[in-house]
Amino acid sequence: MFKNHLKIAWRTIKNEKLFTFIKIGGLAIGIAACVLIALFIQDELSYDQHIVEKDNVFRVYSEGVYDGDKERVTWFQAPFAKALKTDFPEIEKSGRYLTSELFGAGNKQLRIEGEIQNYFESNFIFADQELLELFEIPFVEGKIENALSEPATIVISQDKADKYFPNGNAVGNTLILDNDTNKPYKITGVMKNTSAKSHFDYDFIITMEGRDFYPGENENWRATNYYTYIKINDQTNVQQLEQKLLSVVEKYLIPIEQENGNADDIKYLKSLQYKLQPVHEIHLRSRGIQDGLKHSDIRFTWLFAAIAGFILILACINFINLSTAKSANRAKEVGLRKTIGAFRHNLVSQFLVESILFSLGSFVIGIGLAWLLLPMFNSVASKSLFIPWDQWWFILIMVASSLFIGFLAGLYPAYYLSSFKPIQVLKGSLSIGSKSGKLRSGLVIFQFTTSIVLIISTLVIHQQMDFILNKELGYSKDQVLVVKGTSTLGDEVENFKDQLLQLPEVKHVTISEYLPIEGTKRNTNQFWEDGKRETTIGGQIWRVDHDYLKTLGIKLKEGRDFSLDFASDSIENVIINQTLVTKLGLKDPIGKIITNGRPKTVIGVVEDFHLNNLKEDITPLVMAVGNSQGIISVKLSSAQIDSALSSIAAVWQTKVPNQSFRYTFLDQDFALMHEDVQRIGKIFNAFAFLAILVACLGLFALSAFMVEQRKKEISIRVVLGASFRSIYKLLTINFLKLIFVAVLISIPIAWYMMSRWLEDFAYRMSIGWELFVEGAIIALLIAIFTISYQSIGAALIKPLKSLRTE
Amino acid sequence: MIKIENLKKSFRTEEVETLALNSVNLKVEGGEFVAIMGPSGCGKSTLLNIIGMLDNPNEGYYYFNDQEVGGLKENQRTKIRKGNLGFVFQSFNLIDELTVFENVELPLIYLNMKKSEREQKVKKVLERMKIAHREKHFPQQLSGGQQQRVAIARAVVTNAKLILADEPTGNLDSKNGIEVMNLLTELNQEGTTIVMVTHSDRDSHYAHRVINLFDGQIVTESQNKPFEVNA
């Protein structure tokens, strides 16, 4: 019997090429989307799962109310980690790491001791020995025990070991960093390359043993620079421990602030809570926690999963719609089979075999499609996913899923088709296909609702991205070259600046530690107007030079820019932003004294400019003149970027011949800061395209079916004198009504979804009605185009031909 | 074999109720060849469908081999139909996707017969119907007469005791029509009971007995003298 089912299924497929193509093709697209997203999600969920004791390893963060806002912060004082381990017996291990460029983490010049050539490397951090143990980092060379226990030791990644020591034996070698021959670092271990993902991913880990970044650092309870992790024993109750940790505030922090007598700080400390975040949740569940790391958002992970699932459902709908629509062809067969002795369950199983066969075919094609699309998907999603062909579970999941999908998509058609009464079929009194018409309409509406929601969402995301890129930022990011790795210039930095200013292509040059983009340093300070200690405002202080405002095109609102004519500009004068003026309530700010402990005179107020990405509000800012070797920004005067670049590179080579000249452009850095938005935009693009493609395939097939079914009616109408237009309208209007209903349903859904998404941005566009109109028009046009192919064909029918064959 | 008592069947549309069969009483003995005649809409096919257990009566009794089957559910009817009844339709009703061989084989599959046994039976019946040379063809590749021979082959392959034929020659030319009628007569002579609905006077002469229906009632019943099979 099974063989007979297969035979019929195969012959039906052969006879119904268009419908088969659409059924299988649509499902294959849905499956490809699901496979890609499943790989993506699997990757996202795998972060830090390899840590055997992951349930006992936590990152500490603090939650406190600051300026009326709740703040979650992951940076702690240098002695914090040690105090935790000493004070709480539940804590077995504690470890810190530090990524601050201020203290030398991040980028460095590297060379092997005894060689001359320096190489530029990034991804340096400082860490404790116990941190390696907490993360259970596997070693390929050396041993994790005691790897960082001695001063001046360093652990490197396998990639870097392969790069610098291709013959192995990296351990025991010595590295010179930033030409500092007084502080050589001995390599004590090589971290193994694994496929396991971690939020903690660095190439060079320098020990913190025996190191004070400044005198007395390890007893300093004020500066917060360290990520702190702990490992607890099995018996510990996490909530209870979180409560107990509060004693740290009482014991170490409050006494110091009481000494200083700062009421605001004490208030903040009293609001403080310590929270323990499981290490494997850091990658996906760190929204609202300030940690300066790039990670994903669990909401998007599930949103993508939902959308991929929806696309698969759309494809299943095509399957159901086409199977029931084409039931006329199968009704006779059903009637006959029943007449000669088939039970209903025989027929149900026959149709299920058929749909499972379809599903298996679709899976084969779908997985192939996913494989083809994977490189593209990887570049969009910034991943390096691969299809695990050699894993038994992958094959198992695929086979099981194809059976499941085949069953799911085939169940309704099987019950519908097998319900035909032989008597009705044989008498010809069954109006085939019409019974399930309402369901079909409903499913078409569902398909287009999904598609239109995705289209509108895509439009909103792209518009927000445009809004970000074109927003008036308060500074000019165009034609600003940012020179990297300038710390190697050393004392030559001012001289380098002067030489650049000689170049005809260069308009302004500024040396600063800060730029209004992500990835450059940030700090927190407390400011108050001199003599008004009761109102303190948190803000940043940026060390800049005299040309900072000019180079970045930041506009002065009142007062004056820094000038070499005033010696005091380099000592005590500051320029502040409008936000700080407002928050401090300064009237006539010019000449006012503000202080963070050290008094400063306000000589200028700048119009607010964005200090970070547009998800963040503009915060109070103080700019002061100060020597720094951080970043050199060059405002170019013309569009002749190429000649400017080669001139600047030439100057660079005269200063540091062993160093390659590296640079970025400020506008690119700015766009990069919003890369996540662009990435989501691209993924939505792809999804919207797939959804509308699948929906249109279905619509195309349905309209083909309808035309086929009404051929005789159309012919008679044409004989009776119906015009092309009236036939076209007759065949198109019903479908368009469905699309219109879908538009109405999708608008509030899209509006709600996108409003929620935009809430993440402090600066956002408003969703106008034009977007919905645009989305609706796109969907309608695509639908009309899809249906028209069939409708026009039908309206041009040669009536005699189809009537004669009746 | 068949005993029908006081059978009533009506069809209801939204506005009207049509009485298709009204107090029909009928007896068919095993081995008989009965023709049912009458004008269009008189209830012939309805009666045949009820006899074939494709439909249930509204009122009255239908005994098949002394078992009341008029009130049975679809699955129960299918059970009785399997292997006992064979159908031959005016429009042949073969499954387009299956070959001649497979069409004939189908009822045996539903009887869960072994493959070797099925092959043997199908081959035999196809040879008998003189269509064996076309066993690999699909229905559309055959002439009407050939298609109807396949349909008859399918009806008898299970050794059905009763064959129900609904205007079996209606779509055939006279030569093919005669051939089909000869086949049915042969089957009848071998012991198969045949109930046939027909419009054709000529075909009715092949039957032992002719029942005339009018407006859902049996109006006349006449006996034919035994018919000689044309060579």
Helix (H, G, I), strand (E, B) or coil at A413: helix
**B93–A8 CB contact, under 8 Å:** no
On whether any CB of chain B is under 8 Å from the CB of A346, the answer is: yes
pLDDT of residue A32: 92
Amino acid of residue A456: I
Using the Cβ of B173 and the Cβ atoms of chain A, whether some distance falls under 8 Å is answered with no
Tell me the residue length of chain A: 806
Please report residues of A whose CB lies closer than 8 A to that of B54.
339, 421-423, 426
8 Å CB contact of A4 and B106: yes
Q: Which of A7, A346, A421 sits opposite B110 (nearest CB)?
A: A346
Q: Which two tokens stand for residue A631?
A: 């970043």
Q: Which of A151, A144, A156 is nearest to A204 (CA)?
A: A156
Contact flag A341-B111 (C-beta cutoff 8 Å): yes
Residue with tokens 């078992």: B67
Q: Helices (DSSP H) in A382-432: which residue ranges? A: 392-418, 422-427
Mean pLDDT value of segment A182-207: 91
Output the six-digit token pair for A447. Answer: 């398909």
pLDDT of amino acid B225: 65
Of the candidates A29, A696, A679, which has an alpha carbon nearest to the alpha carbon of residue A311? A29
Q: Is B55 part of the contact surface with chain A (CB cutoff 8 Å)? A: yes
Is this complex scored with an ipTM above 0.90?
Answer: no
Is pLDDT of B226 > 60? Answer: no
Distance from CA of B36 to the nearest CA of A (A): 17
Chain B nearest-CA distance from A325, in A, is 18
CB contact under 8 A, B111 and A342: no
Q: Which of A381, A446, A457, A454 is nearest to A687 (CA)?
A: A454
Are A338 and B75 in contact by the 8 Å Cβ rule? The answer is no
A674-709 pLDDT tens trace: 887 888 888 888 888 888 888 888 888 888 888 877
Is residue A806's pLDDT more than 50?
no
Distance from C-alpha of A783 to C-alpha of A5, rounded to nearest angstrom: 36
A419 lies within 8 A of chain B by CB: no
List Cα–Cα distances, B225 to A314, B167, B187, B228, in angstroms.
66, 21, 18, 9
A721 is written with which tokens?
């004198």
CB A562 within 8 A of CB A546: yes
Measured distance CA(A355)–CA(A349) in Å, rounded: 10
- Is the Cβ pair B97, A337 closer than 8 Å? no
Q: Please determine, for residue B229, whether its predicted confidence score (pLDDT) is greater than 80.
A: no
Give the CB-side neighbour count of residue B118, counting CA atoms within 13 A. Answer: 17
- Please name the residues between 196 and 215 in chain B that touch chain A, using a CB distance below 8 Å: none
Smallest CA–CA distance from A344 into chain B, residue: B75
Asked if A295 is an interface residue toward chain B (Cβ–Cβ < 8 A), one would say no
Question: Could you give the C-alpha distances from A8 to A332, A668, B95, B99, B220, in angstroms and in order?
Answer: 14, 60, 10, 10, 46
Our CA-based measurement puts residue B18 at a distance from the nearest CA of chain A, in whole angstroms, of: 15
Q: Beta partners for B163?
A: B86, B194
A539 with A619: CB under 8 angstroms? Answer: yes
Quick: pLDDT tens for A232-248. 999 999 999 999 999 99
- In the predicted structure, residue A433 carries a pLDDT above the cut 60: no
Please report the residues numbered 124 through 163 in chain B whose beta carbons come closer than 8 angstroms to any beta carbon of chain A.
154
Asked if A785 reaches chain B (Cβ–Cβ under 8 Å), the answer is no
Q: Among A9-18, A53-62, A376-385, B9-18, which range has the highest average pLDDT? A: A53-62
Domain boundaries, chain A: 2-42+298-466+675-804, 54-281, 480-672
Note the pLDDT tens digit of each residue in B52-99: 888 889 999 999 999 999 888 877 888 888 888 888 888 888 877 789
Q: Which domains does chain B have, with CATH numbers?
A: 27-48+83-223 (3.40.50.300)
User: In B, which residues are within 8 Å of A340 by CB distance?
Assistant: 81-82, 86-87, 106-107, 110, 154
Nearest to B93 among A346, A421, A426 (CB): A426
Query: Chain B neighbours among A 666-705 (CB < 8 Å)?
Result: none
Instruction: Give the A window 1-30 contacts with B, CB below 8 Å.
Output: 1, 4, 7-8, 11-12, 15
- Nearest Cβ partner for B106 among A335, A337, A421: A337
pLDDT on residue A802: 59
Placement of tokens 């086979």 in the chain:
A399
CB distance from A426 to chain B under 8 Å?
yes
Give tens-digit pLDDT for A395-414. Answer: 999 999 999 989 988 888 88
**A203 in Cβ contact with A157 (< 8 Å):** yes
